[in-house]
Chain A
């Protein structure tokens, strides 16, 4: 039974459970809803919840576990000799899966009956041709072992699917039945639903955290794999980045890290003063009418996709800088793609981040502090400089660090604006590249995935992750340490 059907059936059962639970509660109280502990709907929800939650939980676990079990079983049927020279077990297994899926498709199309498909023998008929008719291409000749494994794969899968349907629907029925049995007028359905809602919220929160852990783990394992085939001392010690897919690459992180930091620095130098001044103007000087227009207009900048900023860098800012600093002008710049180009455009991108967050923080400074300062005869700018900005500082630092993590993680503007040359240079008009841009280029090539040239992307990603994590922790520390409590 397809999963979609299963889900629909459980939902239908839940709906039925809701109606039944509600009705049972009301009739149990002798049609007097005042005699119930909770509102009638709570009894309904209680039943619906107990139908759905265990059933769906088991369904999810089953969907995750079944492929593993089926795979292990089919792999067990393959002997060592089944793996041809120059191939791997993984490749053979993917053949097995293709054959198995292909056979299912053939049966679906009516080209073979189910019994015929199960009885196929390797030599007897031309399986490849049959599969080809159904539009499934199999690379190599199908050996008896592969076919046997494929048949086992199909059989286990079919049993698994059947069992899954039985267990899930069974659980739904059992859960619903138990909940209905509970449904008496003095049953505290309201509290039960409250506990259920709490559990669902906890599950959502832990899922988000677990995903993060999963992402980190996948980075960590691949990074460990990379350092097994490439020395860490080279990675962190070499000042050269020259990957060559023929082998003998030098994969020093420093040129990339330098590019990242240099571009981020320029971006922050552009965005922090402009964003902060804009925020001060909007929150302290601008009238309500202007503010109502200007703030959304500024935040519009945040909605522009970074690829569009990249185009802006490539087509407008780069040539503009080139005409001033290039061969016709000061001759500092060789091409339109440079650290300065990417940094300026990224700075523009970050202005709304800094201004919007700072604006909120400045507005949160209590009016009583402003009054106190004005009452002592301070002017507006004195008040802002000496009272409001110091009071808002922790939040502003947080905003700046947030912008910094954005800058460090930015990719598209760098790819299009900064060039692709990894180099260590102090000249902001040189082309450079960043960690993120190189992660893209290392993983999108057609390199062997097990080579250090591809795996280095994970080590780079890990470095980036640690950097931004450090920044965030630092930002939190600053905010906590200097936060003023206003009541």
Chain B
């Protein structure tokens, strides 16, 4: 549908937001992520691509310690957010996840009203002093999620009653409402139709103004459309990482070339 890249928001930076060094992840005895080194830049969309089971989602989940909820998962190496080790004992994973928001593959609105869905994060973190301020946060988040115009008249109706694309944008608004610094998206469009996908992609590009966005995707066109940086994972290794245009036009590693031309994957 979109063969040419989206009109890219003109923000460019070279400041590193997250840096990962020699990261290893084990599930029980399985070595799922091997020696991954990556610098994720601020105000940039970074795409993780690679075949199924290559570890890109696993690596994404180490960035906000979601893997802590899985008993058998073990992470080694250093991951820094703004120069601070996020696996340090003094770091509260709960606080970390407020800073590093996450949007999941399947839209997962809570069985609450649209308003309460978005207000959930700000409420548990005490971000609003009063109701008026909370209203403001919710409106701002819904506007950023590009869904405000569709739901502003029915904020009290359940979030589960929206369509799939609306639900996913609601989930993005919900993640944005806690003012994260990084937004992790695990295949956010895989359950959506092309129209909803293009809406979400436009949204991702707008989010780049304020956040560092990391997106896992199976669609190489999507990676090419929305991202500035691309990382190619294969069998738990980070094969190649660089500018999206370079990865897609002039890959260095033969495996990357095979994957993006469709010979493996």
Interface residues, chain A, with chain B CB atoms under 8 Å away: 287, 366, 368-379, 382, 386-387, 390-391, 484-485
- Bound state CA distance, A371 and B111, in angstroms? 14
B residues in contact with A372, CB < 8 Å: 104, 108-110, 171, 174
Instruction: State whether the Cβ of B154 lies closer than 8 Å to any Cβ in chain A.
Output: no
Instruction: State whether the Cβ of B142 lies closer than 8 Å to any Cβ in chain A.
Output: no
B residues in contact with A376, CB < 8 Å: 97-98, 101-102, 120-121, 124, 174-175, 178
- B124 A375 Cβ-Cβ under 8 A: no
- A373 B120 Cβ-Cβ under 8 A: yes
CB distance from A386 to the nearest CB of B (A): 7
B residues in contact with A386, CB < 8 Å: 110, 120, 124
The residue in chain B whose Cβ has the minimal distance to the Cβ of A376 is: B121
- A377 B95 Cβ-Cβ under 8 A: yes
- A368 B106 Cβ-Cβ under 8 A: yes
CB distance from B223 to the nearest CB of A (A): 22
CB distance from B157 to the nearest CB of A (A): 13
1/0 per residue, CB under 8 A from A, across B116-155: the answer is: 0000110011000000000000000000000000000000
1/0 per residue, CB under 8 A from A, across B79-103: the answer is: 0000000000000001111110111
On chain B, the number of residues with a Cβ less than 8 Å from chain A's Cβ atoms is 29
- B108 A391 Cβ-Cβ under 8 A: no
CB distance from A384 to the nearest CB of B (A): 12
Inter-chain contact count A-B, CB under 8 Å? 74
Q: A371's contact among B66, B95, B125, B160, by CB below 8 Å, is which?
A: B66
Main SS class of interface, A: helix
Instruction: State whether the Cβ of B230 lies closer than 8 Å to any Cβ in chain A.
Output: no
- Bound state CA distance, A287 and B70, in angstroms? 12
- Bound state CA distance, A287 and B125, in angstroms? 28
Instruction: State whether the Cβ of B64 lies closer than 8 Å to any Cβ in chain A.
Output: yes
A375-B101 contact given A369-B110, A382-B124, A387-B110, CB 8 Å threshold: yes
- A375 B120 Cβ-Cβ under 8 A: no
1/0 per residue, CB under 8 A from A, across B157-178: the answer is: 0001000000000010011001
The winner among B98, B104, B111 for most chain A CB atoms within 10 A is B111
A375-B94 contact given A390-B111, A391-B111, A484-B111, CB 8 Å threshold: no
Q: B66's contact among A375, A378, A387, by CB below 8 Å, is which?
A: A375
Instruction: State whether the Cβ of B112 lies closer than 8 Å to any Cβ in chain A.
Output: yes
CB distance from A389 to the nearest CB of B (A): 10
The residue in chain A whose Cβ has the minimal distance to the Cβ of B107 is: A368
A368-B108 contact given A374-B97, A376-B101, CB 8 Å threshold: yes
Instruction: State whether the Cβ of B69 lies closer than 8 Å to any Cβ in chain A.
Output: yes
The residue in chain A whose Cβ has the minimal distance to the Cβ of B123 is: A386
- A377 B106 Cβ-Cβ under 8 A: no
A residues in contact with B108, CB < 8 Å: 366, 368-369, 371-372
B residues in contact with A484, CB < 8 Å: 111, 160
A residues in contact with B125, CB < 8 Å: 377
1/0 per residue, CB under 8 A from A, across B53-85: the answer is: 000000000001010010100000000000000
- Bound state CA distance, A390 and B64, in angstroms? 26
Q: A374's contact among B69, B95, B110, by CB below 8 Å, is which?
A: B69
B residues in contact with A375, CB < 8 Å: 64, 66, 97, 101-104, 175
Offer 8 A-B interface pairs, CB within 8 angstroms, sorted by A. A372-B171, A376-B101, A376-B178, A377-B95, A377-B98, A386-B110, A390-B112, A484-B111
